[in-house]
Amino acid sequence: MRACKVAILSIIVFIPFLSIGETSKVVSDLKMRNSIGIEKKLSKKWFLFAETEFGFQKDISELDKIHGEIGIEYKPLKYLSAELKYRGINQRKNFSDVFKFDHMFAASVEVNYKLQRLKNYFRIKYQNIDDEFIISERKNSIKYRIKLKYDIRKTDFTPYFISEAYTYINEGGYGFKKIKFILGTEYKLIKGHRLKAYYRIDRELSSYCPYTYYTLGLAYTCKF
């Protein structure tokens, strides 16, 4: 019962932000993200990972972006991890036919704790650019993420929920500029192989004409 209360409280933490700007004109689009990733255990505390992703926009009718990333994760404690990664992104700019190549660097720290069958995560992440920008390129983002995973007995499915809020250092002021929600499930295929399917919503909070993106995603990961 207590775990259920914690889950409900965590889920509604960022819900009020969705009402911001409802009187403004909202522009939306349906997207898709498909990715393939690998993870390699280097030692008890060090892990290497890489990923390639293809993104589509305009109701999944045209290619939006391709990115490749590589990173390293350090887990000094069972409940604490830190991560550094680089991502090279070739992305269409503002729905035009022009693609631009960007370099994204990110660093994050995450803590987690388990409450019965519910695992809770909280992460703070810095990125030099927001590669999922909505209306224009934005730099130096700080992202605050809550993630919940529920371990269902006697099944290979693990449902999860993510809520993430963005702020931008160079824009000054206070408050969140963008909010993201993800509802998905992870499926264990065979040992070391996982498949994730998810539905994601990205919403601007600070624009007069806010963009809202709805994204369908599929991700395959191999661990060795």
3-state class of 171 per DSSP? helix
Q: Give me the pLDDT at residue 22, please.
A: 47
Tokens read off for 96: 């035009």
- CA-based R_g, the chain, Å: 18
The region of weakest confidence among 31-45, 68-82, 134-148, 155-169 is 134-148
pLDDT in tens, 139-155: 788 999 999 999 998 89
Show the CA angle centred on residue 129, arms to residues 128 and 135, nearest 5°: 155
- Which range marks the domain in which residue 75 is found? 2-223
Other residues' Cβ atoms within 10 Å of the Cβ of residue 97: 7
Mean pLDDT calculated for residue range 123-149: 84
Mean pLDDT calculated for residue range 120-136: 82
Q: Give me the pLDDT at residue 28, please.
A: 85
Please check the confidence at residue 14 and state whether its pLDDT lies above 80.
no
Please check the confidence at residue 136 and state whether its pLDDT lies above 60.
no
pLDDT band at 207 (very low <50, low <70, confident <90, very high): low
How far apart CA 48 and CA 118 sit, in angstroms, is 26
How far apart CA 1 and CA 115 sit, in angstroms, is 10
Distances (CA, A) of 218 to 34, 79, 115, 200, 215: 5, 27, 28, 11, 10
The region of weakest confidence among 138-142, 164-168, 192-196 is 138-142
Tokens read off for 94: 């503002």
H or E stretch at 138: none
Q: Give me the pLDDT at residue 172, please.
A: 62
Query: How are the residues of the chain apportioned to helix, strand and coil, as percentages rounded to the nearest 5?
Result: 10, 65, 25
Q: Give me the pLDDT at residue 98, please.
A: 84
CB 75 within 8 A of CB 45: yes
Across all residues in the chain, what is the average pLDDT? 86
pLDDT band at 130 (very low <50, low <70, confident <90, very high): confident
**What CATH number should be reported for the domain holding residue 138?**
2.40.160.40
Structural domains counted in the chain: 1
